[in-house]
Amino acid sequence: MSLKIETKCVQGGYTPGNGEPRQVPIIQSTTFKYSTSEEMGKLFDLEASGYFYSRLQNPTCDTVAAKICELEGGTAAMLTSSGQAASFFAVFNIASAGDHIISSSSIYGGTYNLFAVTMKRMGIEFTFLSPDCTDEDLQAAFRPNTKAVFGETIANPALTVFDIERWANMAHKNGVPLIIDNTFATPVGCRPFEWGADIITHSTTKYMDGHGSAVGGCIVDSGKFDWMKYADKFPGLCTPDESYHGVNYVERFGLEGAFITKATAQLMRDLGSIQSPQDAYYLNLGLESLHVRMQRHCENGMAVAEFLESCEAISWVNYPSLPSSPYYALAQKYLPHGSCGVVSFGVKGGRKAAEEFMKKLKIIAIETHVADARSCCLHPANATHRQMNDEELVAAGVSADLIRLSCGLESSDDLIADIKQALGL
Ligand SMILES: Cc1ncc(COP(=O)(O)O)c(C=O)c1O
């Protein structure tokens, strides 16, 4: 039976049998018992499926990953300890020293730093391009050693909307997958696989958890990218893995399972960035109401954006669902039911006025966070994007006066009243 996204949010991933717990059980165990070494050996050889150590896999995490997999319409998924770990694993699973990745320049500051600094130190080179670059510019960036293309559906904090279909076509023309960070849109707002993306990452810390209670991440595979067709480019998936008893991931697990099995068996084994079962449980509670909350976040985002646009004291407003946004057409295509609760804007008077305004807010708190039930705001040039120079800030779409406001689930009347009093209106 094909279910609607709302039903998948509530019931996906877990169907208890007779007399079993109605709520997803928290399997708070590092290890699992077997009767014979032969049985254990089969698990190590990936010949049988089962749990043996929670650094690699845990049943609670897998149940919640299965729900996110259903929401995105993928074939396999895994939870990670953070969104950063998800972005790192998704890229590092198919790229190593000497390889090259093309990324949108309009991405989360932490991801930019991971790519441009840390992964560069590991020998992987990144080319950053504006999400609005021409097809010619994008084509010119591909090299024989390019292994993937990366972008964010709605970029944090620039709020650019990524043209997934266009970039997916270009990636596929060049024989590489498109990886999409779908954190801000969530699968309730946009399902990138339906537009040609191959791998999806999430910071589940944001709307999916939605209550500021658990840091986490997720990777989902569409199962559609034909690794074997480009076997020379992806030897890690298409030739025997000597570190795992010579397993060939694509031959053994098919296109639908190879990517996530390799990331679990190899990266999770060696780097151990799994989510805790307790946090996966909190994440599942958040997912159960994701569809209801996203609707309200979007309504509040729109109401606040419309107010800011009409306000004399505000110099500019950026919200993709506003008709005045340069991303309005893309938002209508990819996010027809609303974009998200995050709005960015500048207060007249620049950096200083922005700091004064933020100090006076009463309901909206200053936090390094977004996508939470409680409204919060941040000055990225002073926080998440602090490591960038002015030129890099401009490339990431973040001006020095930008305030990022994440509209929570409160009454939009109260949020607007708080903004008004902080502006002295
Ligand atoms: C779009 C996006 N991707 C990834 C991340 C990193 O996620 P985490 O903080 O869970 O590591 C964030 C964090 O804000 C984000 O906004």
pLDDT at 361 over 90: yes
- Rounded Cα distance between 396 and 374, Å, is 26
pLDDT at residue number 324: 96
Query: pLDDT by residue (tens digit) across 98-128?
Result: 999 999 999 998 999 999 999 999 999 999 9
pLDDT at residue number 379: 87
pLDDT at residue number 244: 82
pLDDT at residue number 399: 80
pLDDT at residue number 390: 67
Instruction: Name the more confident of 113 and 394.
Output: 113
Tell me the CA–centroid distance for residue 202 and ligand 1, in Å. 7
Query: pLDDT by residue (tens digit) across 181-220?
Result: 999 999 999 999 999 999 999 999 999 999 999 999 999 9
Q: What's the pLDDT band for 421 if we cut at 50, 70, 90?
A: very high
- Rounded Cα distance between 18 and 178, Å, is 41
Q: Averaged over 87-108, what is the pLDDT?
A: 97
pLDDT at 256 over 80: yes
CA atoms within 13 A on the CB side of 245: 9
pLDDT at 425 over 70: yes
Residues near ligand 1 with C-beta < 6 Å? 82-84, 87, 108, 110-111, 152, 156, 181, 183-184, 203, 205-206, 215, 217
Spell out the domains of the chain, with CATH numbers in brackets: 9-284 (3.40.640.10), 290-422 (3.90.1150.10)
Above pLDDT 90, what percent of the chain? 88
Q: Averaged over 153-173, what is the pLDDT?
A: 96
Looking at ligand 1, which atom is closest to the CA of residue 204? Answer: 10
pLDDT at residue number 392: 76
- Rounded Cα distance between 327 and 15, Å, is 40
Which residue from 80, 88, 111 has its CB within 8 A of the most atoms of ligand 1, so it is best to mutate? 111
Which residue from 89, 103, 108 has its CB within 8 A of the most atoms of ligand 1, so it is best to mutate? 108
For the stretch 234-237, contacts whose Cβ atoms lie closer than 8 Å and that sit 24 or more positions apart, written own/partner, are: 234/94, 234/147, 236/93, 236/94, 236/96, 236/262, 236/266, 237/94, 237/262
Q: What are the backbone angles phi and psi of residue 133, rounded to the nearest 5°?
A: -65, 160
Cross-strand bridge partners of residue 150: 103, 179
pLDDT at 304 over 90: yes
Instruction: List Cα–Cα distances, 350 to 307, 316, 342, 353, 381, in angstroms.
Output: 19, 11, 20, 5, 12
The 10 Å Cβ neighbour count of residue 59 is 18
Residue bearing tokens 């999916």: 208
Query: pLDDT by residue (tens digit) across 396-417?
Result: 667 878 899 999 999 999 999 9
pLDDT at residue number 346: 92
Tell me the CA–centroid distance for residue 108 and ligand 1, in Å. 7
Q: Averaged over 155-163, what is the pLDDT?
A: 94
Q: Averaged over 48-68, what is the pLDDT?
A: 96
Is pTM beyond 0.95? Reply is yes
State the chain's mean pLDDT as an integer: 95
Q: What are the backbone angles phi and psi of residue 218, rounded to the nearest 5°?
A: -155, 145
Q: Averaged over 365-376, what is the pLDDT?
A: 95
pLDDT at residue number 19: 98
pLDDT at residue number 1: 80
Tell me the CA–centroid distance for residue 380 and ligand 1, in Å. 14
The 10 Å Cβ neighbour count of residue 288 is 17
